[in-house]
Amino acid sequence: MRDRVRRRVLTAVLGRFDNRGTIRRAATLDADQATAGQGNGPYYVPGSPQRRDIREGRSGAPLVLRIRAVEVGTLAPLSGAAVEIWHCDAAGVYSGYQRYGADKFPALVSLSLRRFRPTDTATFLRGQQTTDPDGYVEFQTIVPGWYTPRTVHIHVRVSVGGKALLGTELYFPDDFAARIQAMPPYADRGRSPYVNAHDIEIRMAKGSPGSWPVIRPAADGHRADVTLQLRH
């Protein structure tokens, strides 16, 4: 009996997984729940460029990411909020930290979980915008690659008047990521061995409810839509 109850609770929080960790039904939020916070991670650089298209010529599967910020409870749109996003390129490398590459993270994380000093001034796949009266921002980017030891994700930070309201990550279904990783230029790095069911950040955030965009095919690539519920 106790095991059955525990499985129901885990399913409600984490969504349904198959044996490869593919999320079949991501957890959703009630109106009075806030999107799970996960911090900024080690590769955050303040002062991202103000722009919609953050690619800077980086190759990869085109992705239009639309984010809506709303207030917990009322679900009223949060206008005038600064929304920053950043993620790695198809090879798993972050701008500002190119010297670290895609496979050196384990050695670094054993020393510190704080933000590392940037190694360069590159800004590809980083950007910020201000939400419109309906709470929306939209970015033109690419589907991220992967790096050790994380599943595919995009970092998001939302702030108002310089005060951070949320730092979180957006995730993708494993089967979607696998299809992308079979295409160039992702195929040069190969398929990621890391799946959502085993990702430490997703587990620590109890499934990270509210951080799973709805992904749809588009004329050129894919669209991803997500609503972030914030306490303001």
How does pLDDT run across 50-83, given as a tens digit for each residue?
Answer: 999 999 999 999 999 999 999 999 999 999 999 9
Alpha helix positions (H), the chain: 2-14, 105-109, 174-181, 200-204
Handedness of CA 208, 18, 86, 128 (dihedral sign): negative
The residue behind tokens 């230029």 is 185
How does pLDDT run across 190-224, given as a tens digit for each residue?
Answer: 999 999 999 999 999 988 889 999 999 999 999 99
5: tokens are: 């109850």
**201 φ/ψ angles, rounded to the nearest 5 degrees:** -70, -40
Secondary structure string (H, E, C) spanning 147-201: CCCCCCEEEEEEEECCEEEEEEEEECCHHHHHHHHCCCCHHHCCCCCCCHHHCHH
Closest Cα partner for 33 from 206, 220, 193?
206
Residue 123: burial class (beta carbons within 10 Å; 0-12, 13-18, 19+):
middle
**More confidently predicted of 232 and 85:** 85
Domain boundaries, the chain: 28-230
Q: Report domain 28-230's class.
A: mainly beta
